[in-house]
Structure 1
Amino acid sequence: MSDTSTTPLRWGIASTGGIAEQMTRALRTLPHAEVVAVGSRSQESADRFASEFDIERAHPSHTDLCADPNVDIIYVASPHSEHHDMTMAALNAGKHVVCEKAFALNAAEAGEMIESARRNNRFLMEAMWTWFIPAVVDIRRRVNAGEIGEIVSVDADFCLDISDPDGRHRQADLAGGALLDLGIYPLTFPCFVLGEYPDEVKAIGRLTAGGVDATVAGVAAFPSGALSTFQTSLDAVSGLGARIVGTTGRIDVDPPFWFTSSFTVHSLGADPQHVEMPSEGLAHEAAHAMERIRDGHIHSNVVTWDATLRTMQLLDEVRQQVGVVYPSER
């Protein structure tokens, strides 16, 4: 039954890292959203986070967070290696879930998570925030309207210098590497813009001594005929922009493209049109999740379960080509 009341949806935050902090701040800006609990690996970490954000209850484990009867929806913000188990536990405890991207380690895990949401009749969505950013949504609208003709290519890059050898990005057991954390953006940006997934992808990569991908680059071919190029790395800083090229123009997406607030449309025979559209960051995806839950849905109509599965299949294919296998997959 659809719930259109204004009773607040009560959020629990699973993990206490940087992205968890960003989501908590975003939720505080939304009407009818309450952050009522946080769970971490230790009471100390949970207490620190709860104190910083004035959260009522701090739990020393994800198990305790899932058991909290006052939590309606859990935001899973842990390392990728924990997404599957934490999401499954939350769904089986009767909670709705918004799980950070990359959604899981692989498509098989993603399929199990989706089936659990279906079985438990609980909302589940991958937190692909880019697909809700107003400027990105407007770019897709313009592409669909044919403002730059038929799309020929989409190019995007996301490279950051993340050199800490002990950080999670370089740890194989935490599903580190550039691809799942950074590369998912340039890889899937054209999927959203074009409204389709590639039928072919070719990738090459350079691995760290620990067996995770330090740098990956590649090209993908789409059913429409469009091509995309993507690049990601933990060892350098790129321009962080994107470009969509059509038969009658192009759109230059200002950095950082994955949550851009501006872009420029270049159409043949016309002056460039610069567009600025401020964003509320993670708040857009959270508001969407709450709206879908209130309307009685268990999945998003933007980041659909099919889109999430196809994204994971695409990531699996790229990892296979560059030779990255996580310890839990062996």
Structure 2
Amino acid sequence: MTPIRWGIASTGNISGSMATALAGVDGADIVAVGSRTQDTADAFAAEHSIPNAHGSFTALCADPEIDVIYIGSPHHEHHGMTIEALDAGKHVLCEKAFALNRPEAEEMVAAARRNERFLMEAMWSWFMPGWHEVRNRIEADAIGDIVSIDANFAIPIPDPNGRHRRLDMGGGALLDLGIYPLSISRFLLGEPTDVRALGRLTAGGVDAAVAGSLLHESGAVTTFSTSLDGRSDLTARIVGTVGQIEIHAPFWFPSAFTITVDGESERVETPNRGLAHEAEHTMERIRGGHIESDIQTWNATLTNMELMDEIRRQLGVFYPSETGDGFG
């Protein structure tokens, strides 16, 4: 098997997690890391035994040894970095949220098409064996028709100067945390026909707390909540006409779920290798000559971005780079 050669952009926590995951993936070879400064790139390279360290993203993109770049930077940088990497001839696995809004995401997809390079949003939940087993059980009619889904993701992130509370960095609970319950409901029920959201904004204009409901074509209802201020139980519950499934915390990368029918409960343990699942899928698609995932499709990413655009419109959250109604 010819190795797929990876470059990692950014040296934050999620990039460290991806480097650790890739070290355990057959056929993955991390050959370079890029950061804003040479010092941080060198330190990350030393920590993860990466041979090449670049002091800029442009230098990383120019490295001829790299096949695919993992972009783990904050999401307000994803649009420019992804297009630069694709135009440099690299495949790209870009962290969620994929972009700030749908128009940015559309430009990123257009760049992938233009350059005939693979591009995928790193929405790791969609690749977790646990979620695929849950969907298999639902499709086998284990709990009947879905009546409702409820999911919550609230963790305290109080730093007033951190990216989560900075409007200029695409801050707020929705894009960073709320994206998970929204994506999971769509994974099981498809696109919603209606969305209603309420929230509380900080003095700086980012969403500190959001709660809302989605109505799906089947008549099922999703309720979700997310916050930067409190800590929820981080679970998801799927209620059907004859039973229910509880996804144990943390629901977005579960190792177990419990299915209950007629008062009888079954706990199901599922494999969980973290970010390795999406990395393996990326490599499989690249080796197959594909430029799009057949699981986390471009349409899935674009429609989820559009859904979050609408929720932000209802909340009145617009980023400085956005014009007109907020998404032009």
TM-score by length of 2: 0.97
Q: Which residue of 2 aligns with 1:36?
A: 31
Q: CA deviation at 1:223?
A: 1.0
Q: CA deviation at 1:189?
A: 1.1
Residue 272 of structure 2: which of 274, 279, 283 is its match?
279
Q: Which residue of 1 aligns with 2:100?
A: 105
Q: Which residue of 2 aligns with 1:136?
A: 131
Distance between the aligned counterparts of 1:117 and 1:188, measured in 2? 22
SS in 2 for 1:257: coil
Q: CA deviation at 1:199?
A: 1.2
Residue 219 of structure 2: which of 204, 221, 225 is its match?
225
Q: CA deviation at 1:193?
A: 2.0
Residue 94 of structure 1: which of 73, 89, 95 is its match?
89
Q: CA deviation at 1:148?
A: 0.5
SS in 1 for 2:264: coil
What per-residue deviation string (whole Å, max 9, x for no partner) do you get for residues 281-304 of structure 1?
A: 000000001001101110000000
Distance between the aligned counterparts of 2:103 and 2:152, measured in 1? 27
Structure 2: which 5+ residue stretches go unaligned? Answer: 324-328
SS in 1 for 2:318: coil
Distance between the aligned counterparts of 1:223 and 1:143, measured in 2? 17
Residue 56 of structure 1: which of 40, 51, 54 is its match?
51
Q: Which residue of 2 aligns with 1:313?
A: 306
Q: CA deviation at 1:278?
A: 2.7
Superposed, 1:117-266 pairs within 5 Å as: 117-194=112-189, 196-266=190-260
TM-score by length of 1: 0.97
Distance between the aligned counterparts of 2:193 and 2:39, measured in 1? 47
1:327 is matched by which residue type in structure 2?
P
What per-residue deviation string (whole Å, max 9, x for no partner) do you get for residues 103-159 of structure 1?
A: 000000100100110110000000000011111110011111111001000000000
2:10 is matched by which residue type in structure 1?
S
Distance between the aligned counterparts of 2:217 and 2:188, measured in 1? 13
What per-residue deviation string (whole Å, max 9, x for no partner) do you get for residues 21-58 of structure 1?
A: 00010000011101110111111111111111111111
Distance between the aligned counterparts of 1:160 and 1:240, measured in 2? 9
Distance between the aligned counterparts of 2:192 and 2:13, measured in 1? 32
Distance between the aligned counterparts of 2:94 and 2:220, measured in 1? 30
Q: CA deviation at 1:248?
A: 0.7
SS in 1 for 2:222: strand
SS in 1 for 2:273: coil
Residue 72 of structure 1: which of 63, 67, 70 is its match?
67
SS in 1 for 2:321: helix
Distance between the aligned counterparts of 2:305 and 2:22, measured in 1? 27
SS in 1 for 2:291: coil
- 1:139–1:193 CA contact under 8 A, matched in 2: no
- 1:136–1:260 CA contact under 8 A, matched in 2: yes
Distance between the aligned counterparts of 2:218 and 2:55, measured in 1? 50
- Runs (4+) of structure 1 exceeding 6 A deviation are none
The alignment covers a number of residue pairs equal to 323
Q: Identity of aligned pairs, percent? A: 60
